[in-house]
Amino acid sequence: MARTVWLLGSLLAIGIAYILYEPSFDPESLRGARVVITGCSSGIGEQMAYEYAKLGAKVVITARREKRLQEVVAKMSELGAQQALYVAGDMGKVEDCERTIQTAKDKLGGLDILVINHLASTIDNKFFQYLWDGDMEYAEKHIQANYVSYIRLASLALPTLHKNSGSIVVVGSGAGKFPVPLNAIYAGTKFGLRGFFSSLRQELRIQKSNVSVTYIVLGSIDTGLGKKAIKDRGLDTKQPMYPAAVAAQVIIRGGATRQRDVYYPWGQIWTLAKIWDIFPEVGDYFLEQSVIGSSKQYDRSPLLE
């Protein structure tokens, strides 16, 4: 009996140590690193651009709004980026994905870190605020922009990342770890990304490639989009939101130390994910109540009429 208790205690201690373990991070490891970041005109992407700049990296950023990209690149140069370039484009388009990765190869001489962060959130103004209604045109546009483009960018970058023992960092969401109502297509893309890149990580190891894959699981982040999501869903606007600048630092550190999964905020999002893993019915209940108890009333989906 005593031996069983000792064994269980040891396993528990090992599990806790594994959960809390955080690899040491050397900021100098990113000086001169060649980085591509998508979705950099605002929010977390913009903050990551500034953080990489402070660390002396060489960075290509991309988004659709060229004027904003010009402003971000100018600030990156002031903050210490060795090189700061931009590609104005829509990652939902094949040619813009190709142009982004080719720019890194041509202008930076290769690529060490690919951070895929963009989010096409304004398609038909149906984001974070609707019951699934069977709109397949919307679904196809959203999946192309927020799922297929991630796979395409990683595929385009993989040859040079393999040569340089580089890293892929995929910025995901809690909606890719547990289902969230009113987010069916968005959650579907995030679950899909986690599945694809988890499998890709295994395939790279099988082939003895030293490319790391880090999946980021984010909670409520204080960005324009995050605030809009809460407002559109009629939720409590006083619920805690976490700084985009800190999220950017956590993402960069996780990618640089080649971690498997990174949760931010850890206490909130890791706990929710584990509750749903162990007690999915309980997790579903609380997530559903957050919608039922909101100030916004939702009509029935036309699929149920």
- What is the set of active-site residues? 186
Instruction: Name the residue with tokens 């679904």.
Output: 139
Identity (one letter) of the amino acid at 270? W
For residue 33, the tally of other CB atoms under 10 A from its CB is 22
Tokens of 87: 């590609």
CB 66 within 8 A of CB 88: yes
Element of type H or E holding 184: helix 184-206
Q: Hey, which residues does 221 pair with through a beta bridge?
A: 242
Q: Is 70 helix (H, G, I), strand (E, B) or coil?
A: helix
CA angle 96, 99, 102 (to 5 degrees): 150
Beta strand segments in 54-181, E: 58-63, 83-88, 113-116, 167-171
For residue 80, the tally of other CB atoms under 10 A from its CB is 15
Element of type H or E holding 166: none
